[in-house]
Amino acid sequence: MFRWVRKAMCAAGVLTTLKKTGVAPGFAQSLVDEHMPYFDATAHELRHLATQPRNIIAMIGLLHLVTKALQDVDDENLVLDILSLQKALRLGYEMLKYQLKTRQNWLQIAQGYNITLHLFLREKMMSEEELIETFEPSKLEFDHDLLESWR
């Protein structure tokens, strides 16, 4: 029961964030609907994180999956949708940097991001030392103006 609720909440959170970042509502809904197994696995893997960082990481992973699948598609009708996904991905990374910079559990958030990219995109898993080196909050800068523009 709890797993289904986590999946539904994660999917709803990602859908809301996609719409807020400028992805067309119908396109955002179809992306979420078509990738429900992704949300089941992601929500389970990120269950230790608070809702906001979990949804941001889930959105980034989903956007990487979708843009990777669409990179070879040659359809003029999808150009605006792909551009909106790229904008949403950029905003997603700014949101992630903000979470890493402002939360006490930044290392857990970085680990969740790393796990998500490893599981779904086959990226190399980073060691804890590499995560600390890459995501240490004092080294991160985020674009305040960009974050404010989508709120």
3-state secondary structure the chain: CHHHHHHHHHHHHHHHHHHHCCCCHHHHHHHHHHCHHHHHHHHHHCCCCCHHHHHHHHHHHHHHHHHHHHCCCCCHHHHHHHHHHHHHHHHHHHHHHHHHHHCCCHHHHHHHHHHHHHHHHCCCCCCHHHHHHHHCHHHCCCCHHHHHHHC
Give pLDDT tens digits along the chain (151 positions): 577 888 899 999 999 999 988 899 999 999 999 999 999 889 989 999 999 999 999 999 999 999 888 877 777 777 778 888 999 999 999 999 999 999 999 999 999 999 999 988 889 999 999 999 999 999 888 787 766 765 5
User: Are residues 78 and 66 in contact, defined by beta-carbon separation less than 8 angstroms?
Assistant: no
> What confidence score (pLDDT) does residue 151 get?
59
State the Cα–Cα distance between residues 127 and 125, nearest whole angstrom. Answer: 7
Would you state the structure tokens that stand for residue 32, as one six-digit string? 């979420």
> What confidence score (pLDDT) does residue 79 get?
77
> What confidence score (pLDDT) does residue 150 get?
57
Confidence (pTM): 0.89
> What confidence score (pLDDT) does residue 149 get?
66
